[in-house]
Each structure stands twice: as structure tokens, then as C-alpha cells.
Amino acid sequence: MSSALYTSATSVDQAHEDDIWHSKWFPGKNTLATAGSDEVVKIWDAKSGDCLGLLKDSDFAITSLDINAQGTRVLTSSMDNRMRIWNIDNSSANGSLAAAKPALTIDAGPINAWKSRFVQIVGDEGNKEIVASSTNCGTVKLWSSIDGRQIQELNTSRPNFIYALAVSPDGKKVACAGVGSHIYVFDIEASALSCTFSGHSDNIRSVSFSADSSLLLTASDDKQIQLHDVRYGSAISTFSGHQSWVLSAEIHPDGQYIASGSLDTKVKIWDIAQRKCMETHSQHSQAVWDVAWQRSSDEVVTMRPMLASVGEDCSIKFYDPLLA
């Protein structure tokens, strides 16, 4: 498909043996990690579509995937209730990973780590990295990434399953949502709820922060995407156009666009200022579980990021920027 902003590029069919639920870019690289119900993380060259390696340590579906800001660690959650942290050095990110084993495995207990995210906390004594995880009882748990002990718990006061979790890039806030229409944003340092949003009318599938940590994007079974300002606790805008549940949505690194994926098999790109869909991509044949914009690192700024989408059809689709 030809478009004004993005065009279809590399496609990897049958990239996994079953649904692909997650996709994460290594910061500053043309390298994407994917995972899902076939119990394995695969790492891909986005330009060639070649598989560079894999990570596997259990026979359970992977419910969450994250990569830290330095691109040196991979975090997974699986249906065996365990989180796994894998150390990735520069050579590994470009070569074989088949023999790699987790540096740390955290047994979180039954459904205490459905989603998990790295948290980069900046302090006077240097940066500290911990892990946040979501539960089925309305809480977010914080864990040490060194020894795996639980260090804190944030409570929404509603015992609902949380299956959407995001940490702000500045490491100060964590947002969560799931069953029900409420979104909760916590101040990590204060261990307190800083704001809530309730504009959706159905379960929430995805939450994600803007690169500057000021905005929060949510996607819901109500077929809508909503944008919120976490500084003031205010709603900004709603984006409608998908024909079924919106499973994933993410803000472009420059804050100008939104990418979304849906059960309706479509990937859409939206202009935030104009509050409208600019283009629709139809490369997937089944539900689009995740979309991800290419990420910058501290050393490499990606001026025109690629976009990736993954889905129920077991494929990865890459999109090259034209004008974006």
C-alpha cells in the first residue's frame, strides 16, 4: 500500500508458530524482539527480516515483553507466573542468542506478573533499575531487578485484573488498566495515586506514555483510543475509527502521530493535532496484537522511526517512513 506517511516494507510470515502478542525495539537499533503464545522470544533484523536469535526458558506462553532503555536487558512474563530478566550484550543483540539463559528468574506467585516493565529511577546516587508487574487483583508490584524480592505494592482499591501496564520514560510514574473502564496513574516515589481517568466504556487493552512522559495513550474494547495529560489529570482527545477492539496504541517519538492495531486486522496511523486517521494499513489477515515505533537510545537518535506490527496471523510487518 502506498501512503503519505508510511509504506509497507519487510514482512516476516510465520515468524512464530502461534500468535505474536508483543513487539519491542532495541533502542537505537534496527532490531526488534517479538514474543507470544509459542513460549519463545525472537530477535529480528528489521531491514532483512532475518532472525538473529532466540530466548527460551519455559514451555509457557509469554504474556509480557520489555527491553530496558539501554538495550542491555530483556524482561519477560510467562504463564508459569515467573518473570525472567535476560542480559544482552552488544554482540548478542546482533548474533546468536540460542544458548542464553536468564540472569534472574522471579517467581511472582499466581497471576502477579501478567504484565511487567522495567523502571528506570534516576536519583542523586545514580540510576536504579527495578521491575513493575501487574496482577489480577488490582495491584502493581515493584521488584528488585538484582535479587527478585518484592519491594513495594501500589493498590488501585479495585480488585480487577490489570492487563495493561506502562512506565513513564522518566521513571516517575506507572499507569495501569484492564478489566473495567478506569485508568490509574501512580507516582512511584510517593507510592501514591496521582490521577485516574474513566473516559472509556469497556475494558482497556493498552496503556503507553509519550516520550516526554507528559501524555498517556489508552486503547479499549470500546473501539476507541484516548489521549490524556498526566500532569493535570485531564482528558485531551478521543480517536474513533476501528471497527472492533483496539488492542494496542503507541505515540510516535516526536509526539505527532499515534499508531494503533485492532481486532479488525487494521493498523491505523493518526494525526494527534488534527485528531483524525491519516492512513490505514491492511497487511495483516487476523487481529493485530501489538504496534511499536522504533526507539532512540542515549547515543543514537532515530529521526524517522520505523513502525512494526505483530498479530494473530503469526507475522511481523515493518513500515518505512516516507514523510513522518
The three grid cell numbers given for residue 225, joined into one nine-digit string:
483510543
Quick one: which of 26, 27, 46, 24 has its CA closest to 297?
27
Residue 303 — very low, low, confident or very high, per pLDDT cuts 50/70/90? confident
Cα–Cα dist 70/86, whole Å: 13
Q: Calculate the alpha carbon distances from 308 to 72, 88, 157, 198 in Å.
A: 20, 21, 35, 29
Report pLDDT digits (tens) over 106-135. 999 999 999 999 999 887 777 899 999 999
At residue 54, φ and ψ (nearest 5 deg) are -150, 160
Instruction: Report the range of poorest mean pLDDT among 76-90, 135-149, 254-268.
Output: 76-90
Q: How do the residues of the chain divide into helix, strand and coil, expressed in percent and rounded to 5?
A: 0, 50, 45
DSSP labels, 179-247:
SSS-EEEEETTTTEEEEEE---SS-EEEEEE-TTSSEEEEEETTSEEEEEETTTTEEEEEEE--SS-EE
Question: What counts of helices (H) and strands (E) characterise the chain?
Answer: 0, 28
Mean pLDDT of 269-296: 97
Residue 100 — very low, low, confident or very high, per pLDDT cuts 50/70/90? confident
Residue 13 — very low, low, confident or very high, per pLDDT cuts 50/70/90? very high
CB 179 within 8 A of CB 136: no
Residues 6+ apart with CB under 8 A from 282: 1, 265, 266, 267
Q: Would you state the pLDDT for residue 9? A: 95
Residue 99 — very low, low, confident or very high, per pLDDT cuts 50/70/90? very low
Q: Would you state the pLDDT for residue 175? A: 98
Residue 89 — very low, low, confident or very high, per pLDDT cuts 50/70/90? confident
Residue 241 scores a pLDDT above 50: yes
> Is residue 323 helix, strand or coil?
coil
Residue 98 scores a pLDDT above 50: no
Cα–Cα dist 286/93, whole Å: 29
Cα–Cα dist 184/107, whole Å: 25
Domain layout of the chain by residue ranges? 6-321
Residue 90 — very low, low, confident or very high, per pLDDT cuts 50/70/90? low
Report pLDDT digits (tens) over 158-192. 999 999 999 999 999 999 999 999 999 999 999 99
Mean pLDDT of 73-87: 97
CB 138 within 8 A of CB 129: no
Report pLDDT digits (tens) over 189-239. 999 999 999 999 999 999 999 999 999 999 999 999 999 999 999 999 999
Q: Would you state the pLDDT for residue 93? A: 46
Residue 97 scores a pLDDT above 90: no
Q: Would you state the pLDDT for residue 272? A: 97
The three grid cell numbers given for residue 211, joined into one nine-digit string:
516520550
Q: Would you state the pLDDT for residue 299? A: 86
Which CATH number fits the domain 6-321, given the four candidates 1.10.3720.10, 3.30.1330.10, 2.40.400.10, 2.130.10.10?
A: 2.130.10.10
Residue 314 — very low, low, confident or very high, per pLDDT cuts 50/70/90? very high
Q: Calculate the alpha carbon distances from 167 to 92, 132, 172, 287 in Å.
A: 26, 8, 8, 25
pTM of the model: 0.94
Give the chain's mean pLDDT.
94
